[in-house]
Amino acid sequence: MPGGRVLEPEGGFFMPHAGNASSLSDYIREDLRRCIVSQEGLPCKLTLPALAAHYGVSVTPVRTAVCDLIEEGLLVKQPNGRLTCRPGKPPAEAAEITELAPPRTSADWDRVLVKEVMLASLEQHPVYLREEALAAKYSAGRSVIRQTLNRLAGAQLIEHMPRRGWVVHPLQEEDIRAYLEIRESLELKALDLARPHLVEADLQEMLQGNREVPPGEPQPLDNRLHAYLIEKSQNRYIRNFFRQYTATYYTAVFDYAAPETDVVTMVAGQHRAILRALIAKQWDEARHVLAEHIWSQQPILKNLLASRRA
């Protein structure tokens, strides 16, 4: 798209399983090795389908891990094809266990690349994300990056331009306003539906998590309230909306725009007002302060966009 530019991946934000991520087969192999060597027992039946179901993967990485363990002498394949653990004490060389972090899941990659999209969208011109640069940054294969970007394109957060990359359009004030209108409607509906299912002990716990503190002390912030009301609404369509990539994207934008201590203090105070109204069963007041809380994010985001234009 004319006027666009390529943005190299920006660092500095949370990345799950930082460091050298293990492959699925490596992780499964080392986890099974630990179970066998420690003699704590296997996590499931010793069959490829059962292991695949346990680890939530296809049979392919399980088969690779099992073949490695057979070659090392920790597993034995019987003439009838069944797998068993080698009887007796494991060989000394096989008893060396490598601690590996679990490999990133598709949900992990979604969070990582949604934040890349968020940072790109704060630029003043369309930005192109490159699969090669992202794959190099995260020490990942291009296919993993491409699959995630395809999911984000399906949610219309980005657009694929052949031979040019994945274009991220700038965030506009009208986008923010349109999203907040939908968010307000759905969260207020969630509050109404949640009323019979609220548990006072839960509300009191969140109130304590947002307690007011003396000046100079760090303000605690318990941000579970929104997800709690959505879950207690027992409405799967409301839940599904807030699980979509669009909601994840705007949450990332809000978090990026408001890290300052004074904003955290303000948000905690708004949470206290909502929670106290819910505990007192003052439903109209709870709706009013929840709506105010949602729309209080608009000027914060407008200031962020203005600062990027300066």
Architecture of domain 24-95: Orthogonal Bundle (1.10)
Q: Residue 163 above 70 pLDDT? A: yes
Q: Is the pTM of this model over 0.85?
A: no
Model confidence band, residue 93 (pLDDT cutoffs 50, 70, 90):
low
Question: Angle formed by the axes of helices 106-121 and 142-154, to 10°?
Answer: 70
Architecture of domain 173-309: Up-down Bundle (1.20)
Q: Residue 261 above 60 pLDDT? A: yes
pLDDT value, residue 97:
61
Model confidence band, residue 91 (pLDDT cutoffs 50, 70, 90):
low
Contact predicate 4/44, CB 8 Å: no
Q: Could you list the beta-strand ranges (E) of the chain.
A: 5-6, 75-77, 83-85, 127-129, 159-161, 165-168
Q: CATH 1.20.120.530 in the chain, residues?
A: 173-309
| Fold of the domain built from segment(s) 5-18+105-168 | Arc Repressor Mutant, subunit A (1.10.10)
Q: CATH 1.10.10.10 in the chain, residues?
A: 5-18+105-168, 24-95
Rg from Cα positions in the chain:
25
Which of 137, 122, 127 is CA-nearest to residue 171?
Answer: 122
pLDDT value, residue 1:
36
Contacts of 233-239 with CB under 8 Å at 24 or more apart are: 233/189, 233/190, 233/191, 233/193, 233/194, 233/197, 234/193, 234/194, 234/197, 235/189, 235/190, 235/193, 238/186, 238/189, 238/190, 238/193
